[in-house]
């Protein structure tokens, strides 16, 4: 068995130097060789962009990179496909270790119900902001003849009128019925006698007037479906924009039940 001489001071310093050298070698080997090797040799995986993917597409993308996932939340997003990815953590492009779990928020399949806020009488911009804050969207306003200008008079969802407080699916498209401020204008009463009822309806609608039709049966000298009388009459009379003209139409109502 080899023996180390310690007969002199230089031998002692030599041995101490050897011990320190061995310690340093072990120290640096642990931090710069063993630790990188034990943590997948310093390799990392880049997290892919998952936003907008379906669940099937997301699972394949993560499986290909040996990553796992967990759905941490569901939320409703108007216009987005159900069960698609909205957000992710870690973000796309992050470097992670193999087997790391990616936390996901996905689009829910059903929209929650929300209340229509009370926006009657408000301006268009104010109503749009409040609807947006309630998770509802708006299209182009529908203007009708009324004295009120830029003021909400009615609320429609899917073509039907709804009242404030009604429950509708979040993300529903709301149509605002708005006054055009022309309700105080007077126009000449159009002469509708002798016109077909459907033509008169188009004409009066274009002049912001309403038409009420009364079928009076067969009238000699007049074809069925034509107007035989109107109230008010057309001779020099004026009518307010938005008012109604009552007309008598020859024949029977084609939409009446047999």
List the CATH code of the domain at 44-107. Answer: 3.30.10.20
Spatial strand order in the sheet of 68-75: 68-75, 101-107, 85-89
CATH architecture of 186-249: 2-Layer Sandwich (3.30)
pLDDT of residue 33: 67
Selected from 1.20.1740.10, 3.30.10.20, 3.40.50.20, 2.40.10.10, the CATH number assigned to the domain covering 113-180 reads 3.30.10.20
Mean pLDDT of 228-257: 88
Domains of the chain: which residue ranges? 44-107, 113-180, 186-249
Sequence-ordered list of residues with C-beta below 8 angstroms from that of 214, at least 6 positions apart, any chain: 246, 247, 248, 249
Q: pLDDT tens for residues 72-113?
A: 999 888 778 889 999 999 999 999 988 899 999 999 888 889
Q: How far apart are CA 236 and CA 219, in angstroms?
A: 26
Q: pLDDT tens for residues 169-222?
A: 988 899 999 987 766 678 899 999 999 999 999 999 888 888 999 999 999 999
């Amino acid at each position: 068995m080899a023996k180390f001489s310690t007969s002199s001071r230089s031998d002692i310093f030599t041995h101490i130097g050897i011990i320190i050298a061995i310690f340093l070698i072990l120290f640096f080997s642990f931090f710069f060789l063993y630790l990188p090797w034990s943590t997948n040799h310093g390799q990392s995986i880049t997290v892919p962009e998952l936003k907008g993917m379906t669940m099937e597409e997301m699972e394949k993308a993560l499986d290909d990179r040996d990553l796992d996932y967990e759905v941490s939340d569901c939320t409703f997003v108007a216009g987005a496909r159900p069960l698609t990815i909205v957000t992710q953590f870690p973000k796309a492009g992050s470097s992670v270790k193999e087997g790391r779990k990616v936390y996901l928020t996905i689009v829910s399949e059903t929209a929650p119900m929300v209340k229509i806020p009370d926006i009657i009488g408000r301006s268009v911009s104010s109503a749009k902001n409040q609807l947006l804050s309630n998770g509802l969207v708006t299209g182009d306003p529908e203007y009708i003849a009324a004295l009120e200008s830029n003021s909400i008079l009615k609320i429609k969802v899917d073509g039907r009128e709804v009242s404030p407080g009604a429950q509708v699916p979040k993300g529903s498209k709301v149509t605002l019925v708005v006054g055009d401020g022309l309700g105080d204008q007077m126009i000449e009463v159009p002469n509708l006698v002798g016109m077909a009822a459907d033509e008169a309806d188009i004409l009066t609608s274009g002049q912001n007037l309403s038409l009420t039709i009364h079928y009076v049966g067969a009238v000699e000298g007049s074809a069925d479906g034509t107007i035989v009388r109107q109230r008010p009459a057309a001779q020099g009379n004026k009518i307010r924009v938005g008012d109604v003209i009552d007309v008598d139409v020859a024949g029977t109502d084609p939409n009446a039940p047999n």
